[in-house]
Amino acid sequence: MYGSTFGELFRLTTFGESHGAGLGGVVDGCPAGIPLDESIIQKELDRRKPGQGGVASTTRKEPDQVRIQSGVFEGVTTGTPIGLFVENTNQRSHDYSTIKEIFRPGHGDFTYTGKYGVRDYRGGGRSSGRETVSRVAGGAIAQELLKQEGISVYAYTVELGGIPAEVIDYEGSTDREYFSPDPDAPAKWNEYVSQVKDEEDTLGGVVEVRATSVPIGLGEPVFGKFDARIAHALMSVGAVKAVEIGAGTEAARKRGSENNDPLTPEGFLSNNAGGILGGISSGQDVVARAYVKPIPSILQEQRTVTVDGQETFVMIGGRHDISAIPRINMVLKSMLALTIADLLLIDRRLGRTR
Amino acid sequence: MYGSTFGELFRLTTFGESHGAGLGGVVDGCPAGIPLDESIIQKELDRRKPGQGGVASTTRKEPDQVRIQSGVFEGVTTGTPIGLFVENTNQRSHDYSTIKEIFRPGHGDFTYTGKYGVRDYRGGGRSSGRETVSRVAGGAIAQELLKQEGISVYAYTVELGGIPAEVIDYEGSTDREYFSPDPDAPAKWNEYVSQVKDEEDTLGGVVEVRATSVPIGLGEPVFGKFDARIAHALMSVGAVKAVEIGAGTEAARKRGSENNDPLTPEGFLSNNAGGILGGISSGQDVVARAYVKPIPSILQEQRTVTVDGQETFVMIGGRHDISAIPRINMVLKSMLALTIADLLLIDRRLGRTR
Amino acid sequence: MYGSTFGELFRLTTFGESHGAGLGGVVDGCPAGIPLDESIIQKELDRRKPGQGGVASTTRKEPDQVRIQSGVFEGVTTGTPIGLFVENTNQRSHDYSTIKEIFRPGHGDFTYTGKYGVRDYRGGGRSSGRETVSRVAGGAIAQELLKQEGISVYAYTVELGGIPAEVIDYEGSTDREYFSPDPDAPAKWNEYVSQVKDEEDTLGGVVEVRATSVPIGLGEPVFGKFDARIAHALMSVGAVKAVEIGAGTEAARKRGSENNDPLTPEGFLSNNAGGILGGISSGQDVVARAYVKPIPSILQEQRTVTVDGQETFVMIGGRHDISAIPRINMVLKSMLALTIADLLLIDRRLGRTR
Amino acid sequence: MYGSTFGELFRLTTFGESHGAGLGGVVDGCPAGIPLDESIIQKELDRRKPGQGGVASTTRKEPDQVRIQSGVFEGVTTGTPIGLFVENTNQRSHDYSTIKEIFRPGHGDFTYTGKYGVRDYRGGGRSSGRETVSRVAGGAIAQELLKQEGISVYAYTVELGGIPAEVIDYEGSTDREYFSPDPDAPAKWNEYVSQVKDEEDTLGGVVEVRATSVPIGLGEPVFGKFDARIAHALMSVGAVKAVEIGAGTEAARKRGSENNDPLTPEGFLSNNAGGILGGISSGQDVVARAYVKPIPSILQEQRTVTVDGQETFVMIGGRHDISAIPRINMVLKSMLALTIADLLLIDRRLGRTR
């Protein structure tokens, strides 16, 4: 799993940079016989675009039309690898002279240069958030596999700029601004985001992901635990700085008598475990949260150094989102779907002889 | 990485149950020429044993003598796989009738049975914390590799039962009770632990891990990011319910102008990023925290079900630790060391042509 | 390595079918800083096309223009994944009714249907030889990496239709018909091929691959031996039915005193080992041979069954090559290059601490 | 698959040297619920020992008692990793001064030293044929999984020192000397082996492996083809220099009209394909052959160099087998079983949605 491939049986390999020819991916290991066409993937990509972002997202136009290049025949998957491609149509020939010679604070410019010696300085290249287009496209296919098993996945905003959602109606979140589980939160968030925008700053927040109707038995002890895979999956998304499962950070402050989830003939009485015990799914909802840092590109002058190590200051221009939320929600949902699709395939035979 | 192997080039494969013949592992991919003998590994295993645990750990005697079974010749590694084995000497022939027929709350009993159909009910089997003996043994070898590169790793307790350490002297933590970075914290923790013990309950806490002198360039974008690997590594340890990097959960409440780490010719001015930008190490200390849930085995009657789904109550007897901390610290440190050893080997050629 | 990805550190993932949108691939793990542009890859693809095939290849026009979609910036690789795509421009809207309902003998029709339930019946789909376009494109990049280390690879025809080459001038083979190492062989082969063509039949042959200037030390005992990887690599090419290393099948008929390669201060006196001892390269030329079966599509009526299991006869029309040689030579050379590129990256750190 | 792990879902990781503490392995990914105890594995190990070797094998006593260290509880596998260990009891404290300072021709001494810088010079260390003890132990477990699916595997000698078996009664081969499929061959082979032994030389030969009742659908195009995996598996065994599938090398000399296997409603009319079409099993017997080189340790003086590169001559003393056959047969059978076990697990979900 070094580099550009995610998963072991259901595998997504991605490529592409923000200002190159486009973004693409290969889904290998998808079983045959699953109905699939471009419109199914397109629908997910469209949700990643501005519109549901309240005032936090720019209105930059990115058509992001996906093209299936292989692996589907007469409307169903054939078991062969599914090639995906989304052309970059919006890369104007910017003047990159400002950022070519400096390292933007909070971005990967410094470390990419340190690692590779060369760097595609046009808008972040591979380290741009635009890389996640491939994840959403792959995640859309994973979700089609999950559907076959009756599993649904959600990603909804539970906190933005420190302001929490107070109701968790996750099923309703899909159509609300910010993918909000609380009908009243978007108004509050929009107000605060507008204020922060005026102050030329950016915001972080917290996204909860959830999978329902997950069968008992997913996850491979000891290093391939379900929760370890979720942590990997969500933390691999650029802006995420913390991941928690179930009660998460709060579990560290509880006592054993509070944190244990009692079992009854009707099921568990609580879900502090987040649907995972001993690294294996318990049949409860799988629940995790990703903590998202504020976008590092701000309309303020920042202290940094040139590629030659000289002190300088930089002001990053252009229109930028105020928060990675809610665009990142689609990405986090995709990563959860990819993780579960992979585990479904692995478990079916490793669990036991059936 | 499904199952019992961790890592891609520096790989630890483990086996063993709490009440079987013993715990073991195979380290494959360790370069040749590294000085190694059993005493080096034994020293790490000994630190996992009670003694540094304040009043939180039992005094159960586990000699845990490691035996190197291959891969070392005339005092150095040969590049061939290193077999490790620690015999279980302390498994008395308990009466397991109490737990054989029920699922213990907060343990993997329910999910292992659901997944595999059979379960080694003697003390948790593979899902027992005792499994981590193999991780510590493998981690000791990883640390020898890190030494060759000048890298050190630490794991120290920054919070126990909600009570924080107030000083972060991590270099001094190695010899203190609870691997405490604060000379004054162990006294407070011991007092609180004693009280909770009297109340027949257990506690969680927070462990910070740190690697110093990490070279720039470790980590493989986009799915093999350094932080994603750390999240995977730490979350794969049984009791961990959340992982954060650098500012972690707090980053979600900061603004961009606060969270960005300014660069200067003398280096970064802060380390909210936790030493990782764009998934690649920046040369700063790599800093992460693991949130550890309270031990689920408590001396109280708990509601649960039998393997046949009938309602019942269970009281788990025996002497148990009050907290997984500080034993788990050695395990978390090992996982960090294994992660870095692996990335060191991967990076050396993938970074660039040198 | 199940499915569509080859390699562990230098990894090629491919996709595409003979009659879909096109063929593509992703090379992940290529170090940064290697000069690369489309013309370098195109040159290899062009050699796969008819022209050097004597009378054995059809003259079907396949422009096969490759497009690099990512991973290259300002003329060099950036360390990020290299996306490749070759559009299918020649798929006329054939009438597939003949082969849609039957299984062609010697093809994968029967087994693909058995495995996947569905099948892209247009010209073989994923099981078509056209799939190898992606391998040649990826192999071209691998060869650029090998060049940095001074390694060259060759694939030349040593036997066609049972008629052997009698001279092994492999350096001269590159520009001869059939990639022949013998200046006189092409004339003999052309004559025999013409005769077999008139008889509406097809031919197999033997291709030798060779790598020169291979450093000592490539290969990872015990399962990742260099020779095991070559066997895997070459046998993964559709028409290959046997692979041998060095003396190969002949070694089984030699005595130990004949087969051992004596060492002298000036080097080995013979190369029965094919440049590999104990699974590790010895510094001699690495030499292997692939035995290629005759093309199964013949202009004769053949006995087979329909998809419903009914007896039938089929005559496969269209223009087909008489032999997979010499087109397959480019593919076999690519597989050797990919194998060595991967091992170069793996060895650099696993060998020893340097 | 670099190094010491074979397989992807059913995975064997091995360790150990000929003159270290012992040989061991970990089987990870074995489904739960399969009956297993030490006697099942021991039976396979015992067949690897001298006795069935005719006069070709030494009578060196190797008790080779296997111990299961984990993964089995109450007589069945639990789904957790199965630890295996066989102690070395026969390593007398030899005088290794003869071979410590020189490189034995035909052995891995030269390349191990070149790769790792250090070498366990006692009897070959990791490159000794004794390494295969772990493979046979792991293969025994794989065979128990195959049994559940009704699949049987065989490995029988079809040629020794150039003398072929003339009858292929593979089912009867199990109990004959040399695992001979021909009741009359062992007498001929014994006579020739005795003669070669007197001449202080060694012999190679050819082993055919076969799997019966293989379901349709195993193998993952395009790089994970069934035949490519078999080639990898068999060629990873030390002495093997060539691998062929079905008609193998002979296919290269046949015409298409001869080589195609006609299909009928009752099945295929021939099996030139060796049970694999397009990399996927067809339901016919899977048949492959491994060409085994003569044992390099001969009782003759051989030309070689010292570790310092000086010319010298070496006479390797001690009792050695005259041929790797038939001991190697058990190893080759194990590798086939491991390959099929892995593919069975992979296929069950990748094939199609069922």
Q: Out of C37-51, C71-85, C333-347, D230-244, which region has the weakest mean confidence (pLDDT)?
A: C37-51
Mean pLDDT of chain D: 92
Query: B351 to chain C: nearest residue by CA?
Result: C31
Record the pTM.
0.97
**In angstroms, what CA-CA distances link C72 with A113, C38, C285, C344?**
15, 10, 32, 21
- Name chain A contacts of C115, Cβ cutoff 8 Å: 32, 79
Which of left, alpha, beta for D178 (phi over 0: left; psi -120 to 50: alpha)? left
Reported CATH class of domain C5-350: alpha beta
| Residue A280: predicted pLDDT | 97
The answer to whether A343 and A215 are in contact (CB under 8 A) is no
Q: Is B126 annotated as a binding residue?
A: yes
Strand partners, C163: C160
| Residue C55: predicted pLDDT | 76
Q: How far is C84 from chain A (nearest CA, A)?
A: 10
| Residue C351: predicted pLDDT | 47
| Residue C122: predicted pLDDT | 85
- Name chain D contacts of B29, Cβ cutoff 8 Å: 2-3
In the three-class reduction of DSSP (H, G, I as helix; E, B as strand; rest coil), residue A353 is classed as coil
- Name chain B contacts of D2, Cβ cutoff 8 Å: 9, 29
Q: How far is C154 from chain A (nearest CA, A)?
A: 30
Q: Which of D29, D67, D70 is nearest residue B3 as measured by Cβ atoms?
A: D29
Q: How far is C87 from chain D (nearest CA, A)?
A: 19
Domain boundaries, chain A: 5-350
Neighbours of A294 (CB within 10 A): 29
Residues of D annotated in the binding site for FMN, as ranges? Answer: 126-128, 278, 293-297, 319
Contact criterion met (CB < 8 Å) for A79 and C5: no
Strand partners, B232: none
* Radius of gyration, alpha carbons of chain D: 21
Q: How far is D4 from chain B (nearest CA, A)?
A: 7
Q: Name the percent of chain A lying above pLDDT 70.
A: 94
In the predicted structure, residue A338 carries a pLDDT above the cut 60:
yes
pLDDT band of D291, cuts 50, 70, 90 = very high
Q: Is B326 annotated as a binding residue?
A: no
Residues with Cβ within 8 Å of A89's Cβ and at least 6 positions away in sequence, in order, are A62, A63
Contact criterion met (CB < 8 Å) for B11 and D20: no
- Name chain C contacts of D18, Cβ cutoff 8 Å: none
Q: What are phi and psi of D246, to 5 degrees?
A: 55, -130
- Name chain D contacts of A353, Cβ cutoff 8 Å: 31-34, 145, 148
Q: Tell me the per-residue pLDDT of C160-193, one tens digit each, with 9 for 90 and over.
A: 999 999 999 999 999 999 999 999 999 999 999 9
Q: Out of A108-122, B293-307, D16-30, D170-184, which region has the weakest mean confidence (pLDDT)?
A: A108-122
Q: Which of D8, D32, D352 is nearest residue A33 as measured by Cβ atoms?
A: D352
Q: Tell me the per-residue pLDDT of B48-67, one tens digit each, with 9 for 90 and over.
A: 766 677 777 776 566 899 99
The answer to whether B281 and A111 are in contact (CB under 8 A) is yes
Residues of D annotated in the binding site, as ranges? Answer: 48, 126-128, 278, 293-297, 319
Strand partners, C14: C25
The residue among C266, A54, B256, A354 whose CA lies nearest residue D345 is: A354
Q: Which of D34, D69, D100, D112 is the best mutation test for B, with the most CBs of B within 10 A?
A: D69
Contact criterion met (CB < 8 Å) for C29 and A3: yes
**In angstroms, what CA-CA distances link B42 with B136, B171, D75?**
10, 21, 33
Mean pLDDT in residue range D48-72: 80
Q: Is C183 annotated as a binding residue?
A: no
CA–CA gap between residue A213 and residue A349 (Å, rounded): 20
Q: Is B39 annotated as a binding residue?
A: no
CA–CA gap between residue D15 and residue D19 (Å, rounded): 12
Q: In the complex, which subunits touch D with 3 or more CB pairs below 8 angstroms?
A: A, B, C
Q: Tokens in use for C99? A: 């082969």
Of residues B207 and B346, more confidence is placed in B207
Contact criterion met (CB < 8 Å) for A117 and B262: no
Strand partners, A24: A15, A85
Q: In the complex, which subunits touch A with 3 or more CB pairs below 8 angstroms?
A: B, C, D
Q: Tell me the per-residue pLDDT of A313-332, one tens digit each, with 9 for 90 and over.
A: 998 877 789 999 999 999 99
The answer to whether B111 and A277 are in contact (CB under 8 A) is yes
- Name chain C contacts of A67, Cβ cutoff 8 Å: 21
Q: Is C319 annotated as a binding residue?
A: yes
| Residue C277: predicted pLDDT | 98
Q: Which of C16, C82, C120 is nearest residue A83 as measured by Cβ atoms?
A: C16
In the predicted structure, residue C354 carries a pLDDT above the cut 70:
no
Q: What are phi and psi of B186, to 5 degrees?
A: -55, -35
The answer to whether A183 and A169 are in contact (CB under 8 A) is yes
In terms of DSSP H, where are the helices of B236-326?
256-259
Q: Name the percent of chain B lying above pLDDT 70.
A: 94
- Name chain D contacts of A9, Cβ cutoff 8 Å: 9, 346, 349-350
B7-350 under CATH 3.60.150.10, yes or no? yes
Q: Which of B4, B68, B100 is the best mutation test for D, with the most CBs of D within 10 A?
A: B4
- Name chain B contacts of A241, Cβ cutoff 8 Å: 227, 244-249, 251-252, 274
Mean pLDDT in residue range B132-157: 97
Which run of H or of E encompasses A263? strand A263-264
Which run of H or of E encompasses B350? helix B327-350
In the three-class reduction of DSSP (H, G, I as helix; E, B as strand; rest coil), residue D205 is classed as strand
| Residue B94: predicted pLDDT | 64
Q: At what angle do helices A132-148 and A38-48 cross, to 10 degrees?
A: 130
In the predicted structure, residue B39 carries a pLDDT above the cut 90:
yes
In terms of DSSP H, where are the helices of chain C?
38-48, 97-100, 109-116, 132-148, 170-173, 185-198, 226-235, 256-259, 327-350
| Residue C93: predicted pLDDT | 56
Q: Which of A13, A344, A350 is the best mutation test for D, with the most CBs of D within 10 A?
A: A350
Q: Out of A90-99, B150-159, B236-245, which region has the weakest mean confidence (pLDDT)?
A: A90-99
| Residue C317: predicted pLDDT | 73
Residues with Cβ within 8 Å of A177's Cβ and at least 6 positions away in sequence, in order, are A52, A53, A54, A186, A189, A190, A326
Q: How many helices (H) and strands (E) does chain A have?
A: 9, 18
* Interface confidence: ipTM more than 0.85: yes
Mean pLDDT in residue range C34-52: 88
